[in-house]
Amino acid sequence: MKKIIPVILALLSAASLFGQQRVPFNVRFSEPYATYDFLTRISENYPDNELRTIFLASTYNTTSFKEQIARFDQLRIDYSYAFNHYPQPLKAGMMSRDLLEKNLAVSNTAAEFANRSLGIIPSEDLSAFAQIIQNFAPIYNELIFEPNKAAFEQQKSNLSNYVNNGLFADHFEVGLTFYHTDWDNSIPFELCLLPSLEKNSLSARAFINVAVCEASLDLKDHQQLFSVAIHEIDHILYDNQSFAMKNDLQQWFDHTESVNSQYALLLLNEVLATALGNGYVMEQFNGKIDEQDWYDNPYITAMAKAIYPLVKEYIEKKQPIDERFVKVYVGLYDTQFPQWAKALDHLLAYRYIVADDPADLSYFRRNYRKYSNNRSGMPITTADLERMKDMPITKVLIVSQDHKQTLALIKNNFEELKELKLPHKREFIKVVEMNDHTKLLLINRYESTTETLMNSYFPERMLGVR
């Protein structure tokens, strides 16, 4: 027994140390991911940019390579599945593109990427994808990476400093506690640095356990890059909250009994990431709150600044968000921003749009470009209406053919419309309050375009102002 006890103590000590291990962060450059990004940006379907200008002026601007770019752009790589048992839409559905991009970011070669990605998409598409990546990697290196290698290495060193001094791990731990999220500390977070030739470019995106950090090679303000990266990582922590925590969140918002509770909840993800990543991080750097806009969206900035004192209080107390936090948050939303319940730019940031005509979907993409959740379907079918009912986001239905039958189908699928008169021979827009505390816009049009009707009914992009 005396021999066994020290062994047990040693194992317990090792387990304790393992439990205290912090999440490792790795800074890397991935040639496969950078080549993938390069191919995306030199495509005919991508807006003009510096990478495309350089490629078009190079000796590689040939028919053969342009055909490969076009084929790459048309590969079938987008598949998805939802976590339907979670409260919708509090858990993001998984996209095959995310898995592919994750594998690109952590692979050193196209062959390694292909091996990691078997089974995610059909083999013929994966083989073509990997082969084109392999063919264009030398082109990317010659035209982009090698001419800018010195500047890139400096950017990598700057980002690595935040890893080496523990700031990434520190703020990751802050987020874990605040969001009440568990993370297996044996799984590292990969920081994939992507050099940008665009002036004043600064962005990051995170998915699974990868954050892609993209910044101009002449960037001087590396604190902002760190802040943006933490913002994106906080989205991952929010998404990875447990099933129990997601259920609690939904119930806490429901218990407020606010008519605005669902839109306040839909705003929460961006608000918290902004408060932590752009508010708290920059205050820690500068010793004061940044007076500039924290986010390129007035609703997110305003709500993040309103709730920030409470966020900071919870961080300093190492206290996870709870029902009290939600009550205060919704109370601020109700009292400080009551006009948001009518603001289409806010309401249509979370939308499910179903139409008979693709031009109607294009209208909303053009005119309401800032969104956090965007789903669409065409034409109007019972299946789409069923899916729409299950999503507590703004619902938009545009009827432009078979008006009598289609309006009857819609009316039969939504109990909130059962008593509503829908004159099928006339053009109209009806705004309906739904039982899930969201709004439904029902548009019935004949000769008029959706744009004409929207401008007529909502000249200031506000409900009830005409």
pLDDT tens-digit series, residues 225-278: 999 999 999 999 999 999 999 999 999 999 999 999 999 999 999 999 999 999
pLDDT for 218 equals 87
pLDDT tens-digit series, residues 195-208: 999 888 888 999 99
Q: Span 312-320, mean pLDDT?
A: 98
The percentage of residues in the chain with a pLDDT greater than 90, rounded to a whole number, is: 85
Dist. CA 245–CA 264, nearest whole Å: 17
Decide if 262 contacts 291 (C-beta within 8 A). no
Dist. CA 176–CA 84, nearest whole Å: 24
Residue 267's alpha-carbon distances to 88, 90, 368, 373, 404, in angstroms, are 14, 11, 16, 10, 36
The CB density around residue 138, as the number of other CB atoms within 10 Å, is: 12
Give the confidence band of 433 by pLDDT, cuts at 50, 70, 90.
very high
Give the confidence band of 14 by pLDDT, cuts at 50, 70, 90.
very low
Q: Span 73-102, mean pLDDT?
A: 92
pLDDT tens-digit series, residues 368-404: 988 988 899 999 999 999 999 999 999 999 999 999 9
Dist. CA 296–CA 184, nearest whole Å: 33
State the residue for tokens 């109990």.
415
CATH 3.30.379: which residues of the chain?
Answer: 344-457
Residues 109-133: b if buried by 16+ CB within 10 A, e if exposed: ebeebbeebeebbeeeebebbbbbb
**Closest CA relative to residue 462, chosen from 328, 370, 344:** 344
Mean pLDDT computed over every residue of the chain:
92
Give the confidence band of 466 by pLDDT, cuts at 50, 70, 90.
low
pLDDT of 164 higher than 70: yes
pLDDT for 17 equals 38
State the residue for tokens 């709870």.
322
pLDDT for 465 equals 55
| Sign of the torsion formed by the C-alpha atoms of 63, 69, 71 and 73 | negative
The percentage of residues in the chain with a pLDDT greater than 70, rounded to a whole number, is: 95
Dist. CA 22–CA 166, nearest whole Å: 10
Give the confidence band of 4 by pLDDT, cuts at 50, 70, 90.
very low
Decide if 191 contacts 169 (C-beta within 8 A). no
**Whole-angstrom Cα Rg for the chain:** 25
Decide if 211 contacts 192 (C-beta within 8 A). yes
What CATH architecture is 344-457? 2-Layer Sandwich (3.30)
pLDDT tens-digit series, residues 115-145: 999 999 999 999 999 999 999 999 999 999 9
Q: Span 317-327, mean pLDDT?
A: 98
Q: Which two tokens stand for residue 256?
A: 């407020």
DSSP β-bridge partners for residue 193? 213
